[in-house]
Amino acid sequence: MSELANIARAMVAPGKGILAADESSPTIKKRFDSIGVESTEENRLSYREMLFTTEGAEEFISGVILFDETIRQKTSSGASVPELLSSKGILPGIKVDKGAKDLPLFPGEKVTEGLDGLRERVAEYRQLGARFAKWRAVINIGDGIPSDACIRANAHALARYAALCVEGDLVPIVEPEVIMDGSHTLERCHEVTENTLTAVFAELREQRVPLNEMILKPNMVLSGTTCPTQASVREVAEATLACFRKTVPEEMPGIVFLSGGQSDELATAHLNEMNKLGGGPWELSFSYGRALQAAPLKAWAGNPANLPAAQKAYLHRAKCNGAARTGSYTEAMESGA
């Protein structure tokens, strides 16, 4: 097995998942605004170092996706952030896309930019200690959208990115996110997710990306946020598994779901139910941002004295999601926290 295939398997090791700590500067500013903390480079590092130094988190966290600023920073111990993570047996990763921009002539639709210069950025990030990368595509559901052109444009970009990563010795995380905002039904989300994944894997094969050397980071199949009828946990799990059995090739080592704005507990419950049902050839794991970070961020509140409480909150969420990897998460784990 190749080194990249081994790293991909380590990223979805049993009982573990990935922390997405790759918020862009505007996004982390919003998070910090919510707790009344100024978004300075020093504060951003303090917050992220609080997460990365949490004792025991490595039992449940296989890798961390970093932002460009973070991968270049030195921690209070003098080690770089990738060195700190590697010393705990956690794989450092990096977000490499330049964000979703308006797709010209397609109102309401997005295409992700960042392919220009990517080969050189991949080489630099590999040198800085990254072992995997991430690129996110955004697919909106609305009146008459997504268009086939939007899905094709994003699938093509995802595959080009993935090929450049494999060439540059990084495992690509391929993230086509069908956004949950909207009034669409579970069935409509299923249809759009299926169409998107079908296009993405067709492009990946076309561009010769070895599927055993990459990881998929998709949305779950969910009712839109403003849909009057919200699907149950069981319905979400069944619909998601049905969709992925139809579209995701079995040589893929694993699927790491994004939380996409779900509450902490619901993201965990959905993953847990999928693993209870089982039946897929791939590992079903998590790559959560907000669903792992909301509780520790609130507990931290920018105060160094709150560090133990914040780390406890982060470890709790990591542990709950680790349990969801085997279908052994229960609501009692929340009340017992």
Task: Write out the E strands in 35-187.
Answer: 61-66, 91-95, 100-102, 110-112, 132-139, 171-178
Q: Which two tokens stand for residue 33?
A: 């605004």
Q: Which of 134, 217, 273, 283 is catalytic?
A: 217
SS3 content of the chain, % helix, strand, coil (to 5): 50, 15, 35
N residues, the chain: 337
Please give the backbone phi and psi of residue 74, each rounded to the nearest 5 degrees, phi first.
-100, 140
98 is catalytic: no
217 is catalytic: yes
Task: Report how far residue 112's alpha carbon sits from residue 159's, in angstroms, rounded to the nearest whole number.
Answer: 12
- What distances in angstroms separate CA 11 from CA 114, 120, 205, one per listed residue? 24, 24, 22
With left for phi above 0 and alpha for psi between -120 and 50, is residue 304 left, alpha or beta?
alpha
Burial 164-190 (b: 16+ CB within 10 A, else e): bbbebebbbbbbbbbbbebebbbebbb
Instruction: Give the distance between the most distant pair of CA atoms in the chain.
Output: 53
DSSP per position, 248-285: S-TT--EEEE--TT--HHHHHHHHHHHHHH---SSEEE
- What distances in angstroms separate CA 65 from CA 92, 167, 241, 279, 308, one per listed residue? 6, 20, 25, 28, 23
DSSP one-letter code for 145: B
Whether the CB-CB separation of 277 and 233 falls below 8 Å is answered with no
Whether the CB-CB separation of 65 and 21 falls below 8 Å is answered with yes
Q: Which of 23, 49, 109, 175 is catalytic?
A: 175
Whether the CB-CB separation of 20 and 65 falls below 8 Å is answered with yes
Query: Which amino acids are annotated catalytic?
Result: 175, 217
